[in-house]
Amino acid sequence: MKKKSLALLTIALALTTVTFAQGFHLGFKAGANIFKVDGKSFNDEFKFGYNLGAFAEINFSNKWGVQPELLWNQTNYRTGDNFDDLYPGGKNDVEGKLNYISIPILLTYRPVKIFSLQAGPQFGILTSQDKDLLGETKEAFKSGDFSMLGGAQLNLGALRVGGRYVVGLTDINDIDNRDKWKNQGFQLYLGLTIL
């Protein structure tokens, strides 16, 4: 009886390991951000930045899964011609950048093996910002950001090619509440699974 139980346990563990290995992948990705900071005091133009990081694919079935990621994201912006009207002492027509560590957690649906639809939240931690926006050392942007994203991805063997739209849901203005600032834009990327 013990031998039978041990054999069944071994088979169950082997099947679980094989199933998990088929449904789990790790990889790296890099790409372009085409973002803007949305608000009255900023130019309404998208600017190029970069994204770089790692991802995991955890597939529950042939169709459904979750894709958590850890990314470095860059948002470039330009203040508008009226920035100093809203914020006296602020600088008009200044280019700057925000660097975030972002953690998107995406629900993935694969109608066919080579194509995935993805949507989910993204949590961002601001790691650096230009501090001369107000002509002093005061930081103008909040240290965190929360966004929703949705997009599509091609799964070509180990290669991943994708695009997403990112909509900021939180106001990242850390000066006051006169103008709401939100990150917004597109992400394009190439990824490669290594496991």
pLDDT greater than 70 at residue 3:
no
| pTM across the whole model | 0.83
- At residue 172 the predicted structure's pLDDT band, cuts being 50, 70 and 90, is very high
- At residue 135 the predicted structure's pLDDT band, cuts being 50, 70 and 90, is low
Roughly how many angstroms between the first and final C-alpha of the chain, as a whole number? 38
Q: How far, CA to CA in Å, does 187 sit from each of 31, 66, 95, 110, 164?
A: 7, 19, 20, 20, 5
The whole-number average pLDDT for the span 142-167 is 97
- The rounded distance, in Å, linking the Cα atoms of 195 and 193 is 6
**pLDDT at 177 (0 to 100):** 86
Contact predicate 146/123, CB 8 Å: yes
- Domain range 24-193, CATH class: mainly beta
pLDDT digits (tens, 9 = 90+) for 10-59: 554 444 444 444 589 999 999 999 999 999 889 989 999 999 999 999 99
DSSP codes of every residue in 143-162: SEEEEEEEEEEEEETTEEEE
Sign of the torsion formed by the C-alpha atoms of 164, 170, 175 and 180: positive
Domain map (residue ranges) of the chain: 24-193
pLDDT greater than 70 at residue 182:
yes
The whole-number average pLDDT for the span 154-169 is 97
**pLDDT at 178 (0 to 100):** 85
- The rounded distance, in Å, linking the Cα atoms of 154 and 124 is 25
pLDDT digits (tens, 9 = 90+) for 71-119: 999 999 999 888 888 888 888 888 889 999 999 999 999 999 999 999 9
